[in-house]
Amino acid sequence: MGERPAAYGQPAAISVSPGPHHAMVKALMTLPKPVVAAINGRCHGAGWVTALACDFRVARADVLIGDIRSGKAIFAGQTVPLVLPRLIGQARAMDLLVTGRVLDAAEAERYGILARVWPEDTYEQDLAAFIDELANGPTKTYAAWKLTVNRSVLQELDGYTDYEQRIAALVRQTDDAKEGVASFREKREPRFTGR
């Protein structure tokens, strides 16, 4: 396995290994059965990355979802910039990724991030019924749909991941990235300079 990029603010080697997020996304997208991300709380960071790699994202009506890292000058794409625009379009993806805006369940469903949203009091039953429907359906046909729908992302994934890692290594060297980490550790608002 190749070197991983160093921490923010330190010299970074360009990784020659696509890393665990790449492998996880690829595994979820090639698994020959539907994968459901059942979201019942806040969904950010690694949960956000994982959910976007799933075939169905379903949620309780009170959830909040989005990529909050931008507000701390953290560029950790982890395939999100490849997958998200395909789900919701480039303009909406840029809005969410650049601003770090968080969506409630209703807006995330309108955007096309969530396939289904259920009330808190029936969430568990609705989720169980949905999973039962998938488990007892024509699973080979589902696998065919999944692999054909995901084909374009999978064809780009390896080259994209290398590009994303190179961009991330450059961003980690910026003063704003260092300030983002410092402000997070010190629990204060960041003071960015654009450098």
Residue-wise pLDDT for 93-150, tens only, equals 999 999 999 999 999 999 999 999 999 999 999 999 999 999 999 999 999 999 999 9
For position 18, what pLDDT does the model report? 56
Taking the C-alpha atoms of residue 91 and residue 29, their distance in angstroms, rounded to an integer, is: 24
Mean pLDDT, rounded, of the chain: 88
N- to C-terminal Cα separation, the chain: 32
Which tens digits make up the pLDDT trace of 26-42?
A: 999 999 999 999 999 99
- pTM score: 0.84
Q: Which of 64, 65, 67 is nearest to 80 (CA)?
A: 67
Domains along the chain with CATH numbers: 20-119+138-185 (3.90.226.10)
